[in-house]
Amino acid sequence: MLHAALYGDEDQAVILTYAWDRLLIDPVPGPRGPNNFTGLQRLTPAVWAVPAEARPIAPAGSTLPRLATELPHTFALIDPRHGVEGITRQLEELVSHLSPESIDLLDVGGDILARGDEPTLKSPLADAVTLAACCQVNAPIRLLVAGPGLDGELPPDELRGILGPLVHTFTTKDVEPISSVLEWHPSEATGMLAATARGVRGTCEMRDAGLPVPLTDEGPTAYEVDLDEALSRNQLARAITTTATLDEVEAHSREICGYSEIDYERNKAAWLKDQPPVKLDSDAVLSQLDQFEAGARHRGVTHTTFRRITEALSLNGSLREDLRQLLIGARPERYAAPLWKVN
């Protein structure tokens, strides 16, 4: 969406991104590396592209091959297994190989600007590693934050004073070309960004914890942020600049933030493994949904994500798509694509 808005849709982009779909899609904790896929294509010695024919090796899961099928861009794999040094090497090789006209580091939500001690912060690790690497690359990189606050990690009030010039405000026109992807892709922050671009307003409950996120006129905006200022704020990013393994990064995260988000995934994965399989019973699901929605309305919630509903109804993540189809089929008037309208 951002690439088309800023640069037009004629030139293709190389999107360097994580294969880290969390437990809803991938039952294995943490990010996936090249060794977790078949069918990758080598771009540089350290960078692998994920083409449409690539497949994650079971039990791992990934949305990247399907994204590569449905979108015209090249998706390449951020590999954090070798810490910040490894990602820095990946970026430098890509710059040398591609001679790009521009390089944008995009974060949806703004938790890349976290100090590390915020009580609402849940997933600082991926952002900190990428930020630290970008600050070491000998090339101009622009940091952009879209949808301030939409990841439920930092309140918009905390971000306003840090954001620089407005780069773009997304509209329905920006969303339509990727609307088919939003029908199935599990990213809650991107889903809320698209929903606000389409005019949805209210309060959206997200994640297993049910974080309330305001859907306001700020939702569909994208701002430039000074890269050095972001690094000066982000304690974790500053601490991990010389790390050569993901284990080192995790150790710093536990020390600075009090936790590693991969530890959380490990614990949750172990818990999920012990849960008995639950089948999708339409009558039972709709009854449970009524109870969930009654509570959500009491909490002042107007919308929610399908990930949140899946987890609130104690359903396995593999049932999310079946659940979505069931709910849209039963109550189509409640579908505020790609969110679910509670009231």
d(CA 58, CA 2) in angstroms, rounded, equals: 32
Q: Is the peptide bond prior to 220 cis by the omega test (within 30 degrees of 0)?
A: no
Kind and range of the H or E element at 133?
Answer: helix 125-134
* Mean pLDDT, 10 residues at a time, the chain of 343 residues: 92 94 90 97 98 97 97 96 98 97 97 95 95 97 98 92 97 96 94 98 93 96 98 98 98 97 94 82 95 96 96 87 95 96 89
How far is Cα 197 from Cα 187, in angstroms, rounded to an integer?
15
Q: Tell me, what's the pLDDT at 231?
A: 98
CB-based contacts of 272, cutoff 8 Å, min separation 6: 23, 27, 316
CA dist., res. 94 & res. 14, Å (int): 9
Give the amino acid at 5.
Answer: A
Nearest to 153 by CA among 227, 80, 209: 209
* Span between the terminal Cα atoms of the chain, in Å: 29
Phi first, then psi: give them for residue 267, nearest 5 degrees.
-65, -40
Sign of the dihedral through C-alpha 142, 148, 152, 154:
positive
Residues with Cβ < 8 Å from 110, sequence gap 6 or more? 145, 147, 148, 149, 151, 153, 154, 159, 163
ω into 276 cis (within 30 of 0): no
DSSP string, 186-243: --HHHHHHHHHHTT--EEEEETTTTEEEEE-TTTTEEEEE-HHHHHHH-HHHHHTTT-
Closest residue by Cα to residue 106 from 236, 233, 6:
6
pLDDT of residue 23: 85
Supply angle C-alpha 304, 310, 314, rounded to 5: 130
Using N-to-C axis directions, what is the helix angle for 125-134 and 246-257, rounded to 10°?
A: 110
How far is the C-alpha of 97 from the C-alpha of 95, rounded, in Å?
6
Sorted by where each begins, the domain ranges of the chain are: 2-170+220-239, 282-341
User: What is the reported pLDDT for 24?
Assistant: 81
Q: How far is CA 311 from the centre of its chain?
A: 17
CA distance 104 to 17: 12
Q: Residue 11: its pLDDT value, please?
A: 83
- What are the backbone dihedrals phi and psi of residue 168, each rounded to the nearest 5 degrees, phi first? -165, 150
Per-residue confidence (pLDDT) for residue 343, from 0 to 100: 76
Q: Two tokens at 227? A: 């890269």
List the structure tokens of 186: 């599990």
